[in-house]
Amino acid sequence: MSNLADTIEQWILRQISHQQDEIVILRRNEMAETLDCAPSQISYVLSTRFTLERGFIVESRRGSGGFVRIARIPVQTIVFQDAAKQIDEDLSLEEVKAIVVRLKNHNLMTNREAALIYKCFAFLYERLEPRERVPLLRSLLMTLADQNE
């Protein structure tokens, strides 16, 4: 038998799956009534099971007009965003290569894409100062993320 947190999670996931854009807006009190639980139990599930690491963005407003908006974001976008955040002015080309290899090993880019992106990164390392290079490297990774969805 599943516990209450599992039941709440599954109910919310069903609501999201019925939406074409995978965004759902719910009312915490109505959910609690439907699921016969306390609103705090809904809050607990939202904060532990609908996290950014698990591919969700949760926006919540409390009060009489309050709502909970839950959006599913593709996991690969999160991984690319995390990789882009790792790029800073102190990162070496070898460390950038390791990021590219990790993305390729997780099947988030093909061998061909990895070779091309690494060659672009090497070119930028040769020709640009770190403060100019960082935004371009991040932008290239996020472009791949957008194409990967």
**pLDDT tens digits, one per residue of 76-87:** 788 888 899 999
Residue 149 or 78, more confident? 78
On the question of pLDDT at 1 being above 60, the answer is no
> What's the confidence (pLDDT) of residue 2?
63
Residue 17 burial (C-beta neighbours within 10 Å; 0-12, 13-18, 19+): exposed
CA atoms within 13 A on the CB side of 84: 18
Q: What is the pLDDT of residues 30-71, one digit of tens each?
A: 999 999 999 889 999 999 999 877 888 999 887 766 789 999
In words, the CATH class of domain 4-72 is alpha beta
The SS3 assignment for 57 reads strand
* Range with lowest mean pLDDT among 12-16, 59-63, 92-96, 99-103: 59-63
Distance CA 91, CA 76 (A): 22
**Residue among 26, 55, 21, 51 at smallest CA distance from 39:** 26
Please give the Cα distance from 103 to 5 (Å, whole number): 33
What count of Cα atoms within 13 Å lies in the side-chain half-sphere of residue 10? 7
pLDDT over threshold 80, residue 12:
yes
Q: Look at residue 35 in the predicted model and tell me its pLDDT.
A: 94
